[in-house]
Structure 1
Amino acid sequence: KVGDSGEDASEVDIKKIMKTIRARDLYPVIVFSFSRRACETHANDLMTGKTQLDFTTQEQKELIRQIYDNALLCMAEEDRELACVQKIYPMLERGIGIHHGGLLPIIKELVEILFGESLVKCLFATETFAMGLNMPARTCVFTEVEKFDGKEMRVLQPGEYTQMAGRAGRRGKDDRGTCILMLDKKLDKEELVHMTCGTGSALMSEFKLTYYSILNLLRRASGEEDAEYVIQRSFHQFQHTREVPRKKRELEQITAEADGIQLDMSDAKAELVRLQNAARDARTALMHHAVDPEKLSRDVLKPGRLVRVRDGDDEWGWGAVVGVRDLPAEAVPPLEPDKASEWGLESEWAKREMRNRRRAIDVLIHCAPGVHEGVLRPAKRILGRPGKLAEKGCTCEIVPVALRLVDAVGAMVLTLPRDLTDANARAQVGLAINELHHRFQGKTVPELDLENDLRLDGDEFHESMGRWSRSESELRAHPLYAASTKDGGLNEKQIELYRKKASLMERARDLKKEIKTTQLSKFRDELRDRSRVLARFGMLDEEGTVTHKGRAACEIDTADEVLVTELMFNGCFVAMDHHALVALCSMFMPVEKTNEVYPLAGAAKEALEGPVKQLREAAKAIAEAELDFGVRTQAAEGEDGRHEAVNEYVDSFKDALVGMVYDWSVGTNFDEIMRGTDMFEGTFVRAARRLDELMMELHRAARAVGSAELADSFEKGAESLRHGVVSAASLYL
């Protein structure tokens, strides 16, 4: 909305808050925003419009000017007139500062010094200001409580909030700190309490084997022993070892409980339960291919769609979808430590599992009595008469269901009443569901075909489908199966005991396997798979010894060592001058997404079109090798999934910096380069400095394999970056 003054409502709000803070003497204040653009926008808001805020005295303005001028002495004379350097001073003079990763390093340091001296009274910063800098304030303001984490918008985690809010209150100066939250939409009480008072996320090791570490370990005489020595003493292995006593205690409890159930697990009833569990597990594995937000879209799970729900041994039966929603981040349970350790938090399996956990569906389904007393359990149906409920007082309620609990998707869609808050309306839907159970008694309610309707395909899917079909056939062929589906045919309570004991015994087997299997064995498998990739590209020989080519890769840690080394040895770098060489290597630098791609024209385009194509072809070959040996996984089955996985790797090498680095290398003015892109100045400088490190690593790699001429080209490329703002000295030195 727009205020009476014609200013945007957010501008009015930020000014009102700053005026209140000044009136109550709550300076200095840090205003946290979660985007660089937002920091600059909010800072400009205070300096525009009818009311422009100024927080400094004349004496303080003179001191700010003196510190600013002294800071510029660390820069070359022509760089002092850069637009990004000049535009910051009017803000600083008023006691307003900006701090984010897109600023020139020297400007960030200047702002830090002025804030530390209490000359900057109001600092607009991203969350990085709360990390590693001892810069407390009296007040912290959050312009929003949601951030984009690279995948989606989510509410701040407790640890993130505490890290930033903890800046409020200076030890020895303030008796309290003040935090202000600016909310532009409704925030549930539970979300707010979790954010401000919740427990921080557990620290999980992200230890990974890389080609660089493998090559450097294998270069030693004892190779694999050294690799195991490092892994055994890693924090990752420590976390796994620490879980073993807990798992042993759980195993003892489960074993004792199973022994307390006096049943012979070798008789026909036990065999029936085993076949039922096998069919259930096979169905779960089959549905794992379908229960993905990409497959079960909102179009498929439309209101009224029939779904069958099962939670382990609890059969909820059929219900009608009411709606689909994404859970708030704090309501999504994190990966269990064993799964996080086995899969890796960044693996495709882990990402897919977290996507599934975030998506929930509201289902109108029969519940046993006790819902209004807080007891939620499925309504039992009479065996042989599925249209009848076994208990009186069952009701039809809207229950949130995790996507992974969907056991089948029906082909039919019911027409739902408009107002489902009315118990009578819900009961009418319940009668319709009972009628379906009765109508299809002894048969299967029509389901969507996983292959034709949900378009599932691939070897893994067909293998799971075959395994489930065989399990169902074996179950139906069992002599007690027919009796188990009829009322009075078998003692249901006894069958439940068989099922419980079978589940306990299965969990006991899993725990024994987890205790026996160490993380070291998993790392051995990864070491083997990655070594095969290195052998395919000639960096290891058949005996696992590092080759001449592998010694070059041992020197490269700043970029993708296999791809860089492959380009070095396939002749891609040889015919390039040092300007084109450093520009091509900029594709190995991670960089933020930009809307305006810097143009590649003239001599740069002619020199780089061929090498860029060679780089992508080499990246494609590496991705395919990693898929062949299991180092890289594909999210979807079949050729389409393989193609997607290869492209994901190839596309990670972006050309956003190529033209900019080439022009900087040949001496183009910094301002002129920045006018051709919407990239932040500090982002480019940081990437150029890291690129300098890579070029020197390549210089050492070329020296290591005896290519003096190529080594000189890499060194010249590094030197061509070291001028202007890229090489400006730090104010802290």
Structure 2
Amino acid sequence: MSSPAERYAMSRARAAWESSPAGRFATSLGFELDPFQLDAIRAVQGGSGVLVAAPTGAGKTVVGEFAVALALETGRKAFYTTPIKALSNQKYHDLVARHGSANVGLLTGDASINGEAPVVVMTTEVLRNMMYAASPTLEGLGFVVMDEVHYLADRFRGAVWEEVIIHLPPSVQVISLSATVSNAEEFGDWLRSVRGRGEDDADSMAVIVAEHRPVPLWQHMMVGTRMFDLFVTEGGDGRRDGTTRVNPELLDRISQAERSTGWSREDAGAPRGRRGAVRGRYATHGPAGPRRGGRGEGRGEGGRRGRDDRGPREDRGRRYDDAVPFGERGVLPGGVASRAQVIDRLDREGLLPAITFIFSRAGCDSAVQQLLGRGTRLIPEEEGRRIRDRVARRAAEVDPADLGVLGYHDFVEGLTRGFAAHHAGMLPLFRETVEELFTEGRVRAVFATETLALGINMPARTVVLEKLVKFNGETHAPVTPAEYTQLTGRAGRRGIDVEGHGVVLWRRGVDPMEVAGLASTRTYPLRSSFRPSSNMAVNLVAQYGRERAHELLQSSFAQFQADRSVVGLATRVKENLRALDGYAEAMSCDRGDFREYGRLRHELSELEKKQARRRQAQRRADIGEALDELSIGDVIQLEGGRKGTMAVVLPVKGNRSAFERTVLTSNGSVQQLTIAGFRDVPEVIGTLKVPGHFNARSPKARKDLAAAMREKVREPMPGRRYDARAGSARGGTDGAGRADADARSDGGTPYRSAEARVDDLRRQLTAHPSHACPDREEHARWAARWWQLRKETDDLQRRVAERTNTVAKTFERICDLLSELGYLTPDGQEVTLEGQRLRRIYTELDLVVAEALRRGSWDRLAPADLAAAVSALVHESRGDELVDPRMPTVDVEEVIGEMGAIWREVTSLKSAHDLEGDRELDAGIAWMVHRWASGRGLDEVLRDGGMSAGDFVRRCKQVVDLLGQVAQAAEPSVARTARRASDAVMRGVVAADRLD
């Protein structure tokens, strides 16, 4: 029992907390904060920057919202930044609901609302541009919240985050909110180094890591229409101290499914290990670990399932309701339940609302059609009517003629039944409607691509993954553990659900051990994607000067990580240098300088190996040419073995591979002969007529032809060998032939010269005093170790040199290029008039835009023409899009041709300065953008264009954004055209998504 003094102190502390800004904020929330949230808001109240790394759904945004509340209470400004416009829009509405529209503004590429408010929500690019422009809006800024800060790893836009963090004034507190990453402390150390009073000063930047998920997440797999727990815990007391492994019943069920479809994991080359053994490290608790109690642990009081009383059966030990057996009518080939069956099963188990990630826009739309075709209904009809009225009001600003093109009617029908798609190809207005209705619980099933997982607040009770492979922009690649956690992290709504559920659908090729590895991996390092650009370079030089800019870039997270990696490499270099000294001492010889003798020996060995590789490469080339020149009916001598002693070349239907021949051997088997099957050039020993009707699949035909070969070609023709170089039969290789081969050159060094060098080295070795040393071979062993370690050390030193000052070196090369082009003065210390123009161009192809403006490429264009030309700078065709080759006008075609020539010049110059080139122009939507800017209807614009309405709207907004930059950077006449072009594009469905 505490003493009166202790109780008094506790009372005073409680009163002080309740009267503090943090205490008042916590009390206003209506729910109790978790320890990590309390630690974070106390740190913010104390004046520190904060990095909060916590699982999805843990409540990180509470910390950012406190920074906003503290700014309003203390009379300072707060900027709330996000990586995407959709999240900015969502956060804007959240903050308006809490603080009122007069106190909150929004700035994105296509929306500007109350931009001088004390609290402004914006995309990170907007803040970066404001800083470079020295915007007066920055005055009085006290807090910047960087939501989803782990986005700085994005290879396309992540560099913007580091620019903002580096360049914000020291007086601004930065509150960084990140998903769980394994190197949060490293990231925090960097933040201290650039935002605080040094890396060792923990008070300047509080790093708060929370690994606990407030809503436990259980992992499952669905085989057919039956759902199994992915993990079980055996032994112990059923709750702890047991052995966690993949569910044996799940493995048995998958084996049955594989047998029923005639397929097995071994067919796909999957590794075979101990049955059910879990490879890798498994967490025993936390956001994605296996269930530890079988039935009920982590459910909360009474095992209730939130506010939905249709919970799963309570005997959930290893599988769910088995009412629908495997092989039921409607189960797809391969034992995969249809999308409608999956949703029906989740609905019966009380596991809706659910998000199903499909990784395909067409797949998402198809899922909605499948549920409509099956007559699925997940909400009452009365609720559906209210949704229909609400969507009709939202879509009132869209031209009725465009609604059919947008798929409006099927979209609304799905919503009224409680399900919808969500992907980037949809009209943003439709996506936002889905987000609102799903968050309110009025839509029970959403079929989405992975873009939904990026920050948008759409938690569900269950997340379903149809596949574990997705297109990453370049190729189809397996889902990474970090992506898996990001996707399944949407499952479990705080304050509503007592547990969330992640479900992977089994299909052929999905290994449950692979799923277990994804669900249990805990290493997600945050890696910088920062690299300087031309626009960044001119802005930095303009604001800080080249020398200071160089120093600033040295403080980037990219360089911070590179320097830390160099520390380990440098340590290894020092250790190796000490070892080299020891080896040198061990190989010392009293007869002479054994290091010199060892050098001669090493050089001789390397030269002899190089000559051997040359001879082998030449022999393979000769064999390949010989195979390529063989004709149908040629009989060649084989090098023995079970396939026979000779073979006849057969005809091949279609194109054959280079240096490959199909032959029939003398024992009647058909073989594919390649270079690897020969040690020397194949010997032609005769010819044989192959019947035109010969069928290699016929055993009789093969037997007859093999017999004819054995009858006609009884003995090898002595001395006859195919000469690949001469293209004719010749005698055996003679000395002159070898001399000719040896006289060939490789990299400018004739073989004869190499042989002469070999002879010279051998003479030097023999004449060296150490050659006669009785301990020569012992010394030589130490010399060999010395050379091996010397090679390793040289490689380490090269890697250290490459990583040291890498970011600043790139910046210097860019500055040299910009000086050459006239955007910086010849000494690279100041920005020229043209450079001031480049400062306003933030697109990836910034130099192409600046050069087009400087050369007057766009001077003669009408507004619609300019919009079409600019579209080639922002568009990137998706793999499934049809490229539209049509050019709207001759002027547009000529100008895009000029822009292409500029791009090639810029690419060539960048290569000359050892800089990475930019992506090519893409004029695939020039025709559509021109038609739209000319006032044509959406149906006509999209017809035969191969692009969805949502993609077209998004591209149009990017065109408008770039036209706005052009309007600020161009001469008055082009600036006027750009503004008119922007107005012409920003109409109809493109303008319908701007917030009012």
Counterpart of 1:213, as a letter, is: M
Within the alignment, does 1:211 sit opposite 2:531 as a pair? no
| 1:139 counterpart (459, 462, 468) | 462
Deviations 1:616-649 (A, max 9, x none): 122222222223332247xxxxxxxxxxxxxxx6
Residue 208 (structure 1) shift: 1.1
Q: Which residue of 1 aligns with 2:915?
A: 631
Q: Which residue of 2 aligns with 1:412?
A: 679
Query: 2 CA distance for matches of 1:218 and 1:238?
Result: 21
Deviations 1:592-611 (A, max 9, x none): 3354344636xx32331211
Query: 2 CA distance for matches of 1:280 and 1:157?
Result: 45
Q: Is the 1:276–1:475 contact (alpha carbons within 8 Å) kept by the matching residues of 2?
A: no
Residue 551 (structure 1) shift: 2.1
Q: Is the 1:265–1:498 contact (alpha carbons within 8 Å) kept by the matching residues of 2?
A: no
Q: Is the 1:47–1:53 contact (alpha carbons within 8 Å) kept by the matching residues of 2?
A: yes
Q: 1:110 to 1:493 in 2, by over 3 A?
A: farther
Residue 726 (structure 1) shift: 0.7
Within the alignment, does 1:600 sit opposite 2:889 as a pair? no
Q: 1:163 to 1:524 in 2, by over 3 A?
A: closer
| 2:364 counterpart (24, 39, 43) | 39
Query: 1 CA distance for matches of 2:554 and 2:898?
Result: 40
Q: Is the 2:379–2:417 contact (alpha carbons within 8 Å) kept by the matching residues of 1?
A: yes
Deviations 1:174-194 (A, max 9, x none): 333222222432245664443
Residue 552 (structure 1) shift: 1.6
Q: Percent same amino acid at aligned positions? A: 24
Q: What does residue range 159-238 of structure 1 map to in structure 2 within 5 Å?
A: 159-188=482-511, 191-220=514-543, 223-238=545-560
Within the alignment, does 1:552 sit opposite 2:875 as a pair? no
Deviations 1:57-105 (A, max 9, x none): 1232123223312322454565556533333111111111111111111
- Give the structure-2-normalised TM-score: 0.49
Aligned to 1:215, the other structure's residue is in SS state helix
Counterpart of 1:600, as a letter, is: R
Aligned to 1:720, the other structure's residue is in SS state helix
Q: Which residue of 2 aligns with 1:657?
A: 925
| 1:64 counterpart (372, 387, 400) | 387
Query: 2 CA distance for matches of 1:462 and 1:719?
Result: 60
Q: Which residue of 2 aligns with 1:565?
A: 850
Q: Which residue of 2 aligns with 1:85?
A: 408
Q: Which residue of 1 aligns with 2:564?
A: 242
Q: What does residue range 421-460 of structure 1 map to in structure 2 within 5 Å?
A: none
Query: 1 CA distance for matches of 2:470 and 2:608?
Result: 37
Within the alignment, does 1:723 sit opposite 2:987 as a pair? yes
| 2:868 counterpart (570, 583, 596) | 583
> How many residues of Structure 1 are paired with residues of Structure 2 in the alignment?
551
Counterpart of 2:412, as a letter, is: Y
Q: Is the 1:279–1:475 contact (alpha carbons within 8 Å) kept by the matching residues of 2?
A: no
Query: 2 CA distance for matches of 1:99 and 1:67?
Result: 18
Q: 1:466 to 1:632 in 2, by over 3 A?
A: farther
Q: 1:471 to 1:709 in 2, by over 3 A?
A: farther
Deviations 1:486-530 (A, max 9, x none): xx998767544333333334444555565577632x445433433
Query: 1 CA distance for matches of 2:394 and 2:380?
Result: 21
Counterpart of 1:228, as a letter, is: H
Q: Is the 1:689–1:726 contact (alpha carbons within 8 Å) kept by the matching residues of 2?
A: yes
Greater shift in the superposed pair: 81-90 or 661-670:
81-90
Unaligned runs of 5+ in 2: 1-260, 262-326, 615-619, 628-674, 683-737, 768-772
Residue 580 (structure 1) shift: 0.4
Q: 1:490 to 1:145 in 2, by over 3 A?
A: farther
Within the alignment, does 1:127 sit opposite 2:450 as a pair? yes
Residue 284 (structure 1) shift: 11
Q: 1:666 to 1:201 in 2, by over 3 A?
A: same
Q: 1:27 to 1:711 in 2, by over 3 A?
A: same
- Give the structure-1-normalised TM-score: 0.66
Query: 2 CA distance for matches of 1:111 and 1:203?
Result: 31
Counterpart of 2:520, as a letter, is: C
Q: What does residue range 337-486 of structure 1 map to in structure 2 within 5 Å?
A: 412=679, 462=747, 473=757, 477-478=761-762
Query: 2 CA distance for matches of 1:285 and 1:161?
Result: 48
Which gives a bigger RCO, structure 1 or 2 (Cα 8 Å, sep 6+)? Answer: 1
Q: 1:467 to 1:528 in 2, by over 3 A?
A: farther
Query: 2 CA distance for matches of 1:208 and 1:245?
Result: 21
Query: 2 CA distance for matches of 1:38 and 1:288?
Result: 52
Within the alignment, does 1:687 sit opposite 2:960 as a pair? no
Aligned to 1:186, the other structure's residue is in SS state coil
Query: 2 CA distance for matches of 1:100 and 1:232?
Result: 39
Q: Which residue of 1 aligns with 2:346?
A: 21
Residue 712 (structure 1) shift: 0.8
Residue 688 (structure 1) shift: 0.9
Q: Is the 2:554–2:808 contact (alpha carbons within 8 Å) kept by the matching residues of 1?
A: no
Query: 2 CA distance for matches of 1:599 and 1:203?
Result: 41
Q: Is the 2:587–2:782 contact (alpha carbons within 8 Å) kept by the matching residues of 1?
A: no
Q: 1:258 to 1:597 in 2, by over 3 A?
A: closer
Q: Which residue of 2 aligns with 1:697?
A: 965
Query: 2 CA distance for matches of 1:43 and 1:119?
Result: 16
Counterpart of 1:667, as a letter, is: G
Q: Which residue of 1 aligns with 2:898?
A: 614
Q: Is the 1:101–1:682 contact (alpha carbons within 8 Å) kept by the matching residues of 2?
A: yes
Q: Is the 2:559–2:807 contact (alpha carbons within 8 Å) kept by the matching residues of 1?
A: no
Query: 2 CA distance for matches of 1:610 and 1:498?
Result: 66
Residue 590 (structure 1) shift: 3.0
Greater shift in the superposed pair: 55-64 or 712-721:
55-64
Q: Is the 1:282–1:467 contact (alpha carbons within 8 Å) kept by the matching residues of 2?
A: no
Q: Is the 1:563–1:622 contact (alpha carbons within 8 Å) kept by the matching residues of 2?
A: yes
Q: 1:475 to 1:496 in 2, by over 3 A?
A: farther
Residue 109 (structure 1) shift: 0.3
Query: 1 CA distance for matches of 2:929 and 2:889?
Result: 13
Counterpart of 1:58, as a letter, is: E
Query: 2 CA distance for matches of 1:583 and 1:286?
Result: 59
Q: 1:247 to 1:89 in 2, by over 3 A?
A: same
Within the alignment, does 1:55 sit opposite 2:374 as a pair? no
Query: 1 CA distance for matches of 2:824 and 2:609?
Result: 41
Unaligned runs of 5+ in 1: 290-294, 303-407, 416-445, 634-648
Counterpart of 1:619, as a letter, is: W
Q: Which residue of 1 aligns with 2:185?
A: none
Query: 2 CA distance for matches of 1:626 and 1:552?
Result: 20
